């Protein structure tokens, strides 16, 4: 906080560069686009959770007036998928459907109603197969056939087993060992904007405007499935109405509109209905978890064994990474000297799960925060103090090789403890407070497909009209454009509004891997910093050659001097994360150049008669390294609290008779303004050594502690454990009923299933002075 | 996105004309007032219509007389909930109107439309595509009930917030048919059938609601829903009672969202007569009131829990009315 005074722009609470266009409706979202001669596309989807397709008859649809093209899987047979190891999706399926909502055929017509009617006129004959709708069912022998033809045994997709350090020895050393089972129900992102894409095919080139978080990955998938070289495809990120991880895969509708544009020679648009957004999903995996921890009598962790079982839905998506993420970050908050992780992802006949804010880590965070609370109570010590005694320290390596640099856990904890009055809280039945902490990555250290190229690149051009910054990063509402502008403006002595931005366009901007894993501020920010410093050096050199100082001349003058001296003024910067992953298979998931940290206290009232919860207040402190723009950081923190509370209390993606139970915004409950308590946010600045100006992430980490803090507060209020989310009133009432009958005062999963995990891969902990040695060798 | 189907929009100038149109056009024409219930359902193809008959001619005034207060059917829920007359005389009614859905919908939705609002079921209030995938049910396009497959009837839930309060108040509605007007107690407007839930002729227009002079009537409406806004009731209790000194002389308790019609808990109402409204009597009455409530697994949260909650809302509504 001390050196904010050095900066003119960094650290200032400025409005977003695109705030006015957003609130006045001028921003152009994909669905706003209406190019001349646009055709509208609707997609026919499977009504069965699991079936073989016997035949598809599109003749009646093709005959309908207004219909210009009808395509099926035979037109797009090539498989794609976000991860190279799971290329298991087709834009349209013609052999087999795997969930209600799986796309089968698509129609382009002069208007949407005709397209919808034509979809209804397509006759599909199915051979219905037994659906697999739960983790238990997926672990067992399939009645008819497996959902996917890879992975296994049965419907298992992925199994991992890793051990770091001497786990058995750690348990032997423990004075107390405890086991718990937890369940985290799946939920979805619920972005305000439904996915939408528009494609044209002009002069042999496809252009796609889409509501996506990752133009680059969409570009790659289009090239593969359409069998076109990447230079004949251009992907542009349209104004974005929210992703939260839900627009981080390449999607069927994006490929479909491109194909239909190629066939018809006309622009084709597809906007998903809200129901279809629930089917596109890629949301939070339902995860069943088992955790066993050994501690000394004073509460120091000696060993932890963690098992997860993820219900992945019908396709791979990011699932392999999600599986590793359920085990990766436990060690990044607590000093765990020996750690064993066994993970499993299964296929079920549901829309595929993938990354949602916190990707794979809110579930284990929920489990271990509550698990440690329980251990502290077993030992009769204060849970906050016990957690604190185990906090990781800055500038350390964890037992699973994660490199921790800056770490503000202590500061965050102290702030929320003080502000909430947690220690002096009023003790009365029905009122409770809960505390939890968390950590999250500032960008994944490895790309989704293996390569050694930079993860983000920025070009800057200065000419007579001013400064333009080019970057592939996609602003999904989090404010990445504003961060880019702030960085460039700071270095050049301008204001963000002076910077022109060209972003998220594969033709005109250099690469950025996309808005996921909280990577943009850190990576694009560092790339922008490099490009801007190079540009400043050119300007300074030219001004000084004229005998003056940069600060004494106007920017226009400086740019004229520099352009006269050097010709066209362009600079570039790029960012490649440090190679810090450990020496084991799967080590690519978890390492990040820096971790954010958060601590949270939730205050609530829980009515023992109804089980209804009233939230009183949330205090949250977030170590963001440096707040490039505190207004944006606060927005991200409050949004994370909101989303976390929704997951804790009501959101759930549930199924009935093979169907999504309520794919509608009315029935899928997500909190309204009236359900939102006051949130007091504290920004903690630890000045990360590698972040731009010391900055780390803010978009995902603050969601994580909110959920376990709610469950801990319910225990504080009523003396019952709800060991799963969401914490619905029914579960509270049931746990109280059990308590009154003399049973354990708990609602939650009873057991963790037998899973055929592979033999554990044993990994030695990193050497003590690893990073010092690495730093010295640079 | 979901699109409205194509239909003709007719604009009669009077209720009589509207009723005549409806009678001429038959089941493929429907009235539309605020459209807040109708339009989403048309988008989901829960109704198929060739024509909508607009009711925007309906007056929108609240007339306070000595013997009664007349609320025109075109009054919006927002005006009803903020009306000084209604808040003063029938606070429970204003409360119910103010708890419907969310502010934008209350600005458009009318009290006439709220009395006629379709029954709900989470197997039915879904898109055409979803219902097709689930297998259509007898309320629309199919012939079985998905909630209670062995049942020969539909159990869709009466979800109006204001109807139970109107019944508790003994209110009347005026209906305009093609050949004349008639008055009916609100209670007689409904049938216990999820499909054929209205007892009026489809061609009859609700033109107004008459509330007897409030006198010493105390009212309260308590609604249970998951969130602070938007959600339909998953249980609700409307209470209208009179006291003589500390003792109850009349009491009507009507439940929302636990049956296919607003369900009067007559026995519980009678139980209160001659008693004080206190913790103990409210609890006992609530116990009686909850008995006939039969929620099924076709609305939010589990039906077991909803059934338990009926007691809570009745008890709260009784105490709140008693305190007014
Ligand atoms: C998200 C959402 C949440 C909602 N939440 C609630 C809630 O919490 N509580 C609740 O009670 N309702 C709720 N509703 C339903 C609806 O908004 C209200 O019931 C509203 O009062 C309906 O009035 P309207 O004027 O918009 O009716 P319309 O939609 O115009 O009509 C509804 C029905 O009544 C008929 N009709 C309308 N007026 C008349 C008349 N004067 N005479 C004869 N028939 C008529 C129509 O033909 C139609 O069948 C909700 C709706 C939505 C979309
Ligand atoms: S109660 Fe049964 S018949 Fe009625 S709408 Fe629901 S599923 Fe259909």
Residue A143 lies in a domain: no
The answer as to whether A150 is a domain residue is: no
- Statement to judge: residues A440 and A458 lie in one domain: no
- Together in a domain, A328 and A457: no
Quote the pLDDT of residue A3.
Answer: 56
Q: How far is ligand 2, taken at its centre, from the CA of residue B312, in Å?
A: 27
Please report the ipTM that was assigned to this predicted complex.
Answer: 0.96
* Domain CATH code at residue A52: 3.90.1170.50
Judge if the beta carbon of residue B206 lies within 6 A of ligand 2.
no
Distances (CA, A) of A14 to A240, A638, A749, B158: 20, 17, 47, 50
A436 and A512 housed in the same domain: no
Contacts of A742 (CB under 8 A, 6+ apart): none
Average pLDDT over residues A324-329: 97
- Tens of pLDDT, residues A253-309: 999 999 999 999 999 999 999 999 999 999 999 999 999 999 999 999 999 999 999
Instruction: Pick from A676, A730, A734, A735 the residue to mutate for testing the B interface (most B CBs within 10 Å).
Output: A730
pLDDT of A691 above 70: yes
Q: Which of B161, B158, B188, B194 is nearest to B173 (CA)?
A: B188
Instruction: Please check whether residue A76 is in contact with residue A91, taking contact to mean a CB–CB distance below 8 angstroms.
Output: yes
Q: Is the pLDDT of residue B211 over 90?
A: yes
Residue A418 lies in a domain: yes
Judge whether A3 lies within some domain.
Answer: no
Ordered by start, the domain boundaries in chain B are 62-116+157-323
Quick one: A594 and A698 in the same domain?
Answer: yes
pLDDT above 60 for A66: yes
| CB of B220 closer than 6 angstroms to any ligand 2 atom | no
Q: Domain of A699: which CATH number?
A: 3.30.365.10
Which residue segment(s) compose the domain that A562 sits in? Answer: 453-575
CATH topology of domain B62-116+157-323: Enolase-like; domain 1 (3.30.390)
Tell me if the bond preceding A400 is cis, omega within 30° of 0: no
Size of interface A-B (CB pairs under 8 A): 75
Same-domain status, A652 and A625:
yes
Pocket test for ligand 2, best of B130, B156, B158 (most atoms within 8 A of CB): B156
CA distance A149 to A578: 37
Ligand 2 pocket test, pick from B44, B134, B138 with the greatest ligand atom count within 8 Å of Cβ, gives B138
Distance between CA atoms of residues B156 and B260, nearest Å: 6
- Which pLDDT band holds residue A2 (cuts at 50, 70, 90)? very low
Find the DSSP H helices in A673-754: 706-718, 729-740
C-alpha span between A434 and A601 (Å, rounded) = 5
| Mean pLDDT to the nearest integer, A18-45 | 97
Nearest CA in chain A to B127: A275
User: Considering A258, A280, A302, which residue would you say is the last residue of a domain?
Assistant: A280
Q: Is A593 in the same domain as A524?
A: no
Answer yes or no: do A569 and A588 share one domain.
no
Residue A616 and residue A551 share a domain: no
pLDDT digits 0-9 by tens, B271-303: 999 999 999 999 999 999 999 998 999 999 999
> Are residue A366 and residue A494 in the same domain, yes or no?
no
- Count of structural domains, chain A: 3
Based on the fold, state whether residues A627 and A666 are members of the same structural domain: yes
**Beta carbons of A100 and B133 less than 8 Å apart:** yes
Per cent of chain A over pLDDT 70 is 99
Give the position, in ligand 2's atom list, of the atom nearest the Cα of B138: 3
Tens-digit pLDDT profile for residues A522-544: 999 999 999 999 999 999 999 99
What is the pLDDT, as a whole number, of residue A4? 57
Provide the shortest C-alpha distance from residue A677 to chain B (in Å): 12
Cβ of A657 within 8 Å of Cβ of B134? The answer is yes
d(CA A355, CA A699) in angstroms, rounded, equals 13
- Is residue A443 over pLDDT 50? yes
How far is the centre of ligand 1, averaged over its atoms, from the C-alpha of B154 (Å)?
A: 20
Task: Give per-residue pLDDT as tens, A639-661.
Answer: 999 999 999 999 999 999 999 99
Facing A662 at nearest CB: one of B122, B129, B132: B122
Residue A216 lies in a domain: yes
Q: Are residues A327 and A417 in the same domain?
A: yes
Number of neighbours of residue B192 by Cβ within 10 angstroms: 14
Look at residue A778 and tell me whether its pLDDT is greater than 50. no
| Residue A570 and residue A606 in one domain | no
Q: What is the mean pLDDT of residues A341-361?
A: 98
Q: How many CA atoms lie within 13 A of A491 on its CB side?
A: 27
Query: Is the Cα dihedral A187, A191, A193, A196 positive or negative?
Result: negative
Q: Identify the domain boundary among A541, A575, A609.
A: A575
DSSP H or E stretch at residue B62: strand B62-64
Chain B positions with Cβ closer than 8 Å to A: 1-3, 5-6, 102, 122, 125-127, 129-130, 132-134, 146, 226-231, 300-302, 304-305, 308-309, 312
Q: Is the pTM of this model over 0.90?
A: yes
Q: In the predicted model, what is the mean pLDDT of chain A?
A: 96
The answer as to whether A511 is a domain residue is yes
A183/A10 Cα distance (integer angstroms) = 42
Percentage of residues of chain A with pLDDT beyond 90:
97
Per-residue pLDDT of A572-585, as tens digits, reads 999 999 999 999 99
Quote the crossing angle between the two packed helices A729-740 and A706-718, to the nearest 10°.
Answer: 40
Q: Is residue A46 part of a domain?
A: yes
């Amino acid at each position: 906080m001390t050196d904010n005074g050095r900066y003119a722009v960094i650290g200032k609470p400025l409005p977003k560069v695109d705030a006015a266009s957003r609130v006045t409706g001028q921003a152009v979202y994909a669905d706003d686009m209406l190019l001349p001669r646009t055709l509208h596309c609707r997609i026919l989807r499977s009504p069965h959770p699991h079936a073989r397709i016997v035949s598809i008859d599109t003749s009646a649809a093709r005959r309908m007036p207004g219909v210009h093209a009808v395509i099926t899987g035979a037109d797009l047979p090539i498989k794609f998928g976000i991860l190279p190891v799971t290329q298991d999706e087709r834009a349209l399926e013609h052999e087999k459907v795997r969930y209600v909502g799986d796309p089968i055929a698509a129609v382009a017509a002069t208007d949407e109603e005709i397209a919808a009617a034509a979809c209804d006129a397509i006759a599909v004959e199915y051979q219905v197969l037994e659906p697999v709708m739960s983790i238990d069912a997926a672990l067992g022998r399939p009645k008819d056939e497996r959902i996917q033809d890879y992975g296994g045994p049965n419907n298992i997709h992925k199994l991992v087993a890793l051990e770091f350090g001497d786990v058995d020895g750690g348990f032997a050393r423990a004075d107390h060992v405890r086991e718990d089972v937890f369940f985290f129900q799946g939920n979805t992102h619920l972005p305000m904007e439904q996915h939408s894409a528009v494609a044209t095919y002009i002069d042999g080139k496809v252009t796609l405007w889409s509501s996506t978080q990752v133009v680059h990955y969409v570009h790659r998938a289009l090239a593969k499935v359409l069998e076109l070289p990447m230079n004949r495809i251009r992907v542009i990120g349209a104004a974005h109405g929210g992703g939260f991880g839900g627009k981080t895969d390449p999607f069927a509708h994006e490929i479909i509109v491109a194909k239909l544009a190629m066939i018809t020679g006309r622009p084709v648009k597809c906007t998903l209905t809200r129901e279809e957004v629930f089917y596109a999903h890629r949301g939070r995996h339902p995860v069943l978890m088992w955790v066993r921890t050994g501690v000394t009598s004073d509460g120091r962790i000696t060993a932890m064994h963690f098992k997860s079982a993820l219900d992945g839905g019908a396709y791979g998506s990011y699932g392999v990474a999600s599986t590793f993420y359920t085990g990766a970050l436990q060690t990044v908050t607590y000093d765990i000297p020996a750690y064993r992780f066994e993970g499993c992802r299964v296929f079920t006949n549901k829309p595929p799960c993938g990354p949602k804010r916190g990707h794979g880590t809110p579930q284990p965070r929920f489990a271990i925060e509550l698990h440690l609370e329980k251990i502290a109570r077993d030992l009769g010590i204060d849970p906050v103090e016990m957690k604190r005694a185990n906090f990781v320290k800055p500038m350390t390596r964890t037992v699973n090789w994660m490199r921790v640099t800056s770490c503000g856990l202590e500061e965050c904890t102290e702030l929320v403890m003080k502000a909430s009055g947690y220690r002096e809280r009023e003790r009365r039945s029905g009122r409770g407070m809960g505390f939890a902490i968390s950590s999250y990555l500032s960008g994944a250290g490895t790309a989704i497909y293996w390569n050694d190229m930079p993860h983000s690149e920025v070009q800057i051009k200065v000419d007579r009209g001013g400064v333009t910054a080019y970057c592939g990063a996609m602003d999904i509402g989090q404010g990445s454009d504003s961060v880019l502008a702030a960085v460039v403006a700071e270095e050049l002595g301008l204001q963000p509004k002076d910077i022109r931005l060209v972003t998220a366009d594969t033709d005109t901007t250099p690469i950025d891997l996309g808005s996921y894993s909280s990577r943009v501020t850190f990576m694009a920010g560092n790339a922008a910093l490099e490009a801007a410093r190079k540009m400043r050096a050119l300007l300074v050199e030219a001004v000084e050659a004229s005998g003056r100082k940069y600060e004494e001349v106007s920017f226009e003058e400086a740019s004229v001097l520099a352009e006269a001296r050097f010709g066209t003024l362009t600079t570039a910067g790029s960012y490649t994360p440090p190679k810090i992953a450990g020496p084991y298979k799967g080590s690519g998931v978890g390492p990040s150049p820096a971790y954010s940290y958060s601590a949270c206290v939730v205050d609530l009232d829980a009515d023992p008669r109804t089980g209804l919860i009233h939230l009183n207040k949330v205090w949250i402190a977030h170590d963001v390294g440096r707040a490039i723009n505190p207004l944006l950081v606060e927005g991200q923190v409050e949004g994370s609290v909101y989303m976390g509370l929704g997951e804790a209390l009501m959101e759930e993606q549930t199924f009935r008779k093979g169907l999504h139970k309520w794919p509608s915004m009315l029935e899928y409950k997500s909190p309204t303004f009236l359900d939102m308590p006051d949130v007091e946010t504290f920004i903690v600045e630890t000045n990360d050594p590698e972040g731009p100006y010391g900055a780390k992430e803010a978009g995902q980490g603050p969601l994580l502690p909110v959920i376990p803090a709610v469950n801990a507060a319910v225990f504080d209020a009523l003396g019952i454990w709800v060991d799963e989310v969401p914490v619905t009133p029914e579960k509270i009432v049931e746990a109280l009923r059990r308590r009154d009958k003399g049973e354990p005062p708990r609602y939650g999963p009873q057991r963790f299933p037998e899973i055929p995990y592979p033999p554990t891969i044993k990994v030695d902990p990193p050497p003590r002075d690893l990073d010092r040695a690495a730093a010295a060798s640079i | 996105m979901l699109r409205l189907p194509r239909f003709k929009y007719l604009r009669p100038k009077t209720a009589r004309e509207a009723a005549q149109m409806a009678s001429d056009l038959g089941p493929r024409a429907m009235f539309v007032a605020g459209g807040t219930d109708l339009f989403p359902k048309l988008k989901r193809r829960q109704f198929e219509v060739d024509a909508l008959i607009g009711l925007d001619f309906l007056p929108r005034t609240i007339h306070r007389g000595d013997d009664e207060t007349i609320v025109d059917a075109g009054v919006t829920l927002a005006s009803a909930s903020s009306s000084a007359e209604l808040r003063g005389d029938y606070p429970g009614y204003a409360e119910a109107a103010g708890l419907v859905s969310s502010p934008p919908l209350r600005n458009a939705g009318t009290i006439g439309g709220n009395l006629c609002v379709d029954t709900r079921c989470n197997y039915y209030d879904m898109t055409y595509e979803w219902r097709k995938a689930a297998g259509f049910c007898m309320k629309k396009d199919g012939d079985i009930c998905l909630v209670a497959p062995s049942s020969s009837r539909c159990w869709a839930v009466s979800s109006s917030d204001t109807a139970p309060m109107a019944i508790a108040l003994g209110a009347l509605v005026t209906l305009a048919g093609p050949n004349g007007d008639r008055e009916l107690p609100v209670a007689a407007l409904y049938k216990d059938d999820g499909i054929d839930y209205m007892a009026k002729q489809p061609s009859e227009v609700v033109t107004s609601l008459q509330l007897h002079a409030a006198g010493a009537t105390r009212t309260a409406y308590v609604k249970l829903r998951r969130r602070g806004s938007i959600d339909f009731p998953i249980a609700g209790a409307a209470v209208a009672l009179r006291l003589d000194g500390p003792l109850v002389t009349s009491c009507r308790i009507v439940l929302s969202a636990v049956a296919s019609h607003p369900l009067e808990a007559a026995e519980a109402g009678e139980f209160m007569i001659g008693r004080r409204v206190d913790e103990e009597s409210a609890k006992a009455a609530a116990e009686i009131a909850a008995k006939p409530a039969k929620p099924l697994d076709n609305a939010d949260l589990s039906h077991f829990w909803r059934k338990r909650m009926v007691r809570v809302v009745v008890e709260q509504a009784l105490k709140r009315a008693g305190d007014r």
